[in-house]
C-alpha cells in the first residue's frame, strides 16, 4: 500500500509505544496503528520478542491466515507499512518526529 494515499482523519488513542488513527485510504475507513521505533529491543533470554510492532504484525498475520479475522472475532488485518515519514503527515504524526527510526504501521478494519 502506498502511504501517500492515506488521509489521517483523527487520532483515536496514543501511548508511549504507539498511536492509533482513523484513516481514509482509497475511500475506505481503517484504523492505522503506528509504533514508535527507537531501535530494536531484541529478545529476552528465554526468546520472547520485545519488539511490539513485530509481535503484533506476526499475531495479525497468523489470525488472518487461520480465519479468525474472517469470523469477526478480531479486526481484519489489511497489511502494514514498514516505515512512514512523519513529516509527510504533519502535524498528525508529530509525536513520531523525534524517534530514532521512522514508525512502522499496521492497517486494520
pLDDT at 76: 94
pLDDT at 2: 80
Quote the CA–CA distance of 44 and 26 in Å, as a whole number.
Answer: 40
pLDDT at 82: 93
Instruction: Please tell me what DSSP assigns to residue 45.
Output: T
Tens place of pLDDT for every residue, the chain, 109 residues? 788 899 999 999 999 999 999 999 999 999 999 999 999 999 999 999 999 999 999 999 999 999 998 898 899 999 999 999 999 999 999 999 999 999 999 999 9
Domains and CATH numbers, the chain: 3-108 (3.30.200.20)
Quote the CA–CA distance of 91 and 4 in Å, as a whole number.
Answer: 15
pLDDT at 27: 94
pTM score: 0.91
Strand runs (DSSP E) across 1-109, as ranges?
A: 6-14, 18-25, 28-37, 77-81, 101-108
Amino acid at each position: 500500500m502506498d502511504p501517500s494515499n492515506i488521509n489521517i482523519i483523527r487520532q483515536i488513542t496514543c501511548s508511549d509505544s504507539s498511536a492509533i488513527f482513523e484513516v481514509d485510504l482509497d475511500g475506505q475507513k481503517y484504523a492505522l496503528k503506528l509504533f514508535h521505533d527507537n531501535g530494536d529491543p531484541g529478545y529476552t533470554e528465554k526468546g520472547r520478542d520485545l519488539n511490539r510492532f513485530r509481535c503484533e504484525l506476526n499475531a495479525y498475520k497468523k489470525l488472518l491466515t487461520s480465519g479468525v479475522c474472517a469470523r469477526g472475532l478480531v479486526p481484519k488485518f489489511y497489511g502494514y507499512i514498514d516505515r512512514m515519514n512523519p513529516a509527510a503527515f504533519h502535524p498528525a504524526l508529530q509525536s513520531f518526529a523525534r524517534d530514532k527510526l521512522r514508525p512502522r504501521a499496521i492497517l486494520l478494519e
